[in-house]
Amino acid sequence: MRTDLLSTVRNLGILAHVDAGKTTVTERFLYLTGATHRRGEVHDGTTVTDFDPQERDRGITIFAAAVSCVWDGHRINLIDTPGHVDFSDEVERSLRVLDGAIAVFDGVAGVEPQSESVWRRADRHGVPRIAFVNKLDRAGADLDAAVASIRARLHPAPLVVQLPIGREDGFTGVVDLLRMRALVWHAGRGSYEECPVPGELLAEARRRRERLAESVAELHAGALEEFAAEPELSAETLAAALRDLTLSGAGLVVLCGSAYRDRGIEPLLDAVVSYLPSPLDVPPVRDVHDGRARAADPAAPLAALVFKVAATPTGRLTYVRLYAGTLRKGDTVLDAGTGRTERVGRILRVQADRHREVDLATAGDIVALVGVKAAGTGATLCAPAAPLLLEPPAVTEPVVSVAVEARRGGDAERLASALARLVEEDPSLAVRTDGETGQTLLSGMGELHLEVAVEKIRRAHGIEVGVGRPQVAFRETVVRGVSGLLYRHVKQEGGAGQFAHVVIDVDPLDDDARDGGDGFVFASTVTGGRVPREYVRAVEAGCRDALAAGPLGGHPVTGLRVTLTDGATHPKDSSELAFRTAGRLALREALRSCVMALLEPVVEVTVTVPADAAGGVLGDLAARRGRITGSTARGGTVVIVATVPLAEVFGYATRLRSRTQGRGTFTGRPAGHAPVPSGSPVH
């Protein structure tokens, strides 16, 4: 691909809360662009991207799926991401390799909890977005209310470029405010009809276009000049300004429609082409060590990031995003993180679970590789002669664990192999052996996450697995610290010995410091060279070693600051090993002298129930040690927001359904850790 053709590529994802319509939007994209010849439906289990049997059984997206289509001369590489909070790391890995995104919102519910969560993740990655307010054909759908929730909860500047024609069942089309035309979809027809704006909407459309022009002029200098000189902004000026505002993140273009009824999809595809970035519009990738840049150029040395690994019946597939260079079948590439070389056997253009072999891939492509044996998720594949290491996707620490065992004694080795393959495919899963009980523990992001993983072992590997009760990952933290703790490490066993003398202070971190890092801060106030700099680093490493097990119950320790205030060395016996050992043992001793607290993971749950069941639900949440943070009445229902310990949420969906005769729903998202009350049974 020539560099100039990169401008016709769009790498984007679809982000939203579960059941907002992401997969349906993806299916309509594929159908309208001719990539498929029939509309896939979630409720029928016929979608292209939800191809896994568990996804079709559960009716939700679990695994990110990549597809590709062509619209108006532009290649759109699209990743349909999960909406359930338990699979948020799958979204994280996708966002790491995307240039842009479509945020889909339910026209009735507006911004929902997971919508907000994935929005914040996209903010961290600097991914430009446009918004699509879906399901405007549903009872209670309201574009203005949805936009108000976007403004209030996500804080962008919404720039609404369409006006709905009709409401709820009568929703038939939209008014394009840039070009002041109506786009109407008729049942049974394959495309929209362009016609003049209906007379009853003309005044409202003009008012909204003026408001759009004013909002754009406030944010864009070029549009402001024309706005001051001309009676109104032209459609061309508005479109150019909207693209600039989208790329900079200063504004959010908002469109609307009903994906299920095929209304509003063609304008959304046009908006993808017009406003979202090409690989040439995003900053060049940089080496994590020295900041060397590599631009999106097919002629540059290769730089690609592995964002997904999948085991298929035909072998291992390694999904990569190429940022620079050209990759050909048979090439040898370097795994920059490990220093190993890999040979690329085949290159596949991906269409969910179907693949088409190609001879080469270039900068801007998202493809799957066959033959790469060891490179895992987050690995950088680059030209051996021009190594470059890219920042890998972040991995969230698991919060829930279950004990798993093979029901048949002969399956123990097969189970170990299946678990290793699961962790390779999904780094947010972890497997370890309990040192006391010898049980194999599988850890993940939530109850559903673990259910899906265990079911995958049963279906894909034919292993009958026994599962224990889920356990949460506790933490320990410092409530009141100690000062001036002295520790002297002396070891002499013939020959060179070990000597290290350290004095440390331990203090709890304030909330801002906890939020901004990994929960541990190390500092040194030693002066006069009493402890050389390399030994200070060794003391920090030793302190980090000590964080693995706290004094209350052997749980990881977080939320503390350690300050090295003094120390001493020996001219012959001091070494980095001695000071690392001293740091580890000194912090262990200090923690035993501190006032410590046990922390448990908590989740923010949003419960939607009929008004007549709200009292019982509130009482049940209180019994689960929940703290109510908000309650809103909405059209005969009550939306309750509460912070609840994760351990108390297990099985809550079943309990809620029984309390509300199946009419109640809830969603949850991680909200960090909170102290366990002293009277709690888990303390």
User: Burial level of 240, CB count in 10 A (0-12/13-18/19+)?
Assistant: middle
* pLDDT tens per residue, range 491-549: 877 667 899 999 999 999 986 655 545 689 999 999 888 999 999 999 999 999 999 99
What is the pLDDT at residue 51? Answer: 62
Residue 475: pLDDT above 80?
A: yes
Per DSSP, 269 falls in state H
Average pLDDT of span 558-583? 93
Q: List the single range of 124-133, 169-178, 592-601, 604-613 with lowest mean pLDDT.
A: 604-613
Per the CB < 8 A criterion, the answer to whether 276 and 282 are in contact is: no
Look at phi and psi of residue 45 and say left if phi exceeds 0, alpha if psi is from -120 to 50, else beta: left
Given a contact cutoff of 8 angstroms between Cβ atoms, the answer to whether 541 and 583 are in contact is yes
Mean pLDDT of 445-453: 83
pLDDT band (50, 70, 90) for residue 234: very high
> Among candidates 391, 392, 388, which has minimal Cα distance to 334?
388
Closest to 60 (Cα-Cα) out of 30, 83, 80 = 83
CA distance 344 to 331: 6
Looking at residue 259, its pLDDT comes to 92
Six-digit token string for 589: 């001793």
Share of the chain above pLDDT 70, in %: 91
| Percent of the chain whose predicted confidence (pLDDT) is above 90 | 51
The band of 22, judged by pLDDT with boundaries at 50, 70 and 90, is: confident
| 222 Cα distance to chain centroid | 35
What was the pLDDT predicted at 245?
96
- Among 126-130, 312-316, 599-603, the minimum mean pLDDT is found in 312-316
Contacts 24+ apart (CB under 8 A), 201-208: 201/163, 201/165, 201/175, 204/163, 205/163, 205/175, 205/177, 205/180, 206/180, 208/160, 208/163, 208/177
User: Which domains, ranges and CATH numbers included, belong to the chain?
Assistant: 3-281 (3.40.50.300), 285-382 (2.40.30.10), 400-473 (3.30.70.870), 476-593 (3.30.230.10), 600-675 (3.30.70.240)
Q: What pLDDT was estimated at residue 459?
A: 84
Contact 499, 490 (CB under 8 A): yes
pTM of the model: 0.73
pLDDT at 536: 95
Dihedral of CA atoms 120, 124, 127, 131 in degrees, nearest 10, equals: 10
The region of weakest confidence among 106-120, 166-180, 223-237, 285-299 is 106-120
Summarize the confidence of residues 59-86 as an average pLDDT.
Answer: 81
pLDDT (0 to 100) of residue 43: 65
Amino acid occupying residue 363: A
Banded pLDDT at 188 (limits 50, 70, 90): low
Give the Cβ contact number of residue 112 at 10 Å. Answer: 22
Annotate 625-663 with b (16+ C-beta within 10 A) or e (fewer).
Answer: bbeeeeeeeeeebbebebbbbbbbbbebeeebeebbeee
Task: Using pLDDT thresholds of 50, 70 and 90, give the confidence band for residue 83.
Answer: low
C-alpha 376/C-alpha 93 separation (Å) is 12
Least confident of 150-159, 324-333, 368-377, 407-416: 407-416
Average pLDDT, the chain: 87
User: Is 70 exceeded by the pLDDT of residue 190?
Assistant: no
The enclosing H or E element of 215 equals helix 199-219
Please report which confidence band the pLDDT of residue 646 belongs to, taking 50, 70 and 90 as the band edges: confident
At which residue do the structure tokens 């703790």 appear? 485
In the chain, the amino acid numbered 432 is R
Check whether 2 has a pLDDT greater than 70. no
Euclidean distance between the first and the last CA atom of the chain, given in angstroms as a whole number: 61
What residues pair up with 253 in beta bridges, in sequence order? Answer: 159
pLDDT at 667: 75
**Cα–Cα distance list, 663 to 59, 358, 577, 638 (Å):** 18, 50, 61, 12
Asked if the model's pLDDT at residue 274 lies above 70, the reply is: yes
Question: Is residue 668's pLDDT more than 80?
Answer: no
CA atoms of 500 and 568, how far apart (whole Å): 7
Which single residue is written with the structure tokens 């994935």?
A: 118
Would you say residue 347 has pLDDT above 70? yes
Identify the pLDDT of residue 44.
Answer: 66
For residue 525, count other CB atoms closer than 10 A to its CB: 9
pLDDT at 178: 95
Place of tokens 């409401």: 167
Give the CA diameter of the chain: 98
Q: If you search the block for the tokens 């790329």, which residue do you land on?
A: 247
